[in-house]
């Protein structure tokens, strides 16, 4: 390994340590209560060293949020061989799996209300906007296939599917479920019940989520939109 490669590897190791320490601190103490100095102390570096990797605490959050959304995955990755209804179910099941398997990322992205707005990094999070549009497109395909009524608002349907799963995720995160309650079973029931309701010609009162991640909304306020 050459000197340049070793330097790049070492730099990436430190960057990873910064992000891991920040993620732990943000979720245990709250984003607004964590300083660059506190992150530096956790990894036994100087604050100046942290600034050489990230210009600000917000930039550390943006890097973690980007990682989280990448972990959540692209809905297009779900098999296109599935029929519309099971495909939509599989896509939204991944949201629940993300909250279950990556609780720190979930809490930081969807629960902490003090995090900065992602519209400050519009281009960096353009893929989030595309993900939203893809979710709406999936519901529209279901409408065209006759699975859902033609009167269904696709954006509102996506929001309803998300709200139920996010609510369960918060209950799990805050340890509010009873000892005999199975979160996987609850997530399955939420999806099946919501999808069954969306197949009826019920007029939804909500308008649904905004599709433009450049709108003035934070990740926490957006609640996974």
pLDDT per 10-residue tile (average), the chain, 225 residues? 82 96 97 97 95 96 95 79 92 94 95 88 86 93 96 94 95 95 98 96 81 43 40
DSSP run (H or E) holding 111:
none
Task: Say how far apart CA 76 and CA 83 lie, in whole Å.
Answer: 14
DSSP run (H or E) holding 26:
helix 3-29
pLDDT score for 164: 94
pLDDT score for 73: 84
Walk me through the domains of the chain, giving residue ranges and CATH numbers: 3-55 (1.10.10.60), 65-222 (1.10.357)
pLDDT score for 189: 98
Query: b/e per residue, 169-183, with b = 16+ CB within 10 A?
Result: bbebbeeeeeeeeee
Contact between residue 112 and residue 26 where contact means Cβ atoms under 8 Å apart: yes
pLDDT score for 212: 56
Contact between residue 60 and residue 16 where contact means Cβ atoms under 8 Å apart: no
Task: Say how far apart CA 211 and CA 225 lie, in whole Å.
Answer: 8
Q: 151 by DSSP, 3-state: which?
A: coil
Question: Could you say which DSSP state residue 145 is in?
Answer: T
75: Cα separation from own chain's centroid: 12
């Amino acid at each position: 390994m050459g000197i340049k490669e070793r330097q790049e590897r070492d730099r990436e190791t430190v960057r990873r340590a910064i992000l891991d320490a920040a993620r732990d601190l943000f979720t245990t103490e709250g984003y607004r209560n964590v300083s660059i100095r506190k992150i530096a102390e956790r990894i036994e570096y100087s604050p100046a060293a942290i600034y050489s990797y990230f210009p600000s605490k917000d930039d550390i959050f943006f890097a973690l949020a980007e990682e989280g959304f990448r972990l959540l995955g692209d809905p297009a990755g779900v098999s296109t061989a599935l029929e519309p209804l099971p495909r939509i179910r599989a896509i939204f099941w991944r949201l629940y799996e993300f909250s279950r398997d990556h609780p720190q990322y979930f809490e930081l992205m969807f629960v902490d209300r003090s995090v900065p707005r992602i519209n400050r990094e519009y281009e960096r999070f353009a893929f989030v906007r595309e993900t939203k549009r893809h979710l709406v497109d999936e519901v529209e395909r279901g409408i065209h296939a006759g699975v859902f009524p033609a009167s269904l608002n696709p954006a509102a349907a996506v929001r309803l599917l998300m709200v139920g799963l996010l609510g369960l995720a918060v209950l799990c995160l805050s340890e509010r479920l009873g000892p005999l309650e199975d979160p996987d079973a609850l997530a399955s029931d939420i999806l099946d019940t919501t999808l069954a309701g969306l197949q009826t010609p019920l007029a939804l009162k909500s308008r649904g989520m905004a599709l433009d991640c450049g709108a003035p909304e934070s990740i926490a306020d957006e609640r996974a939109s």
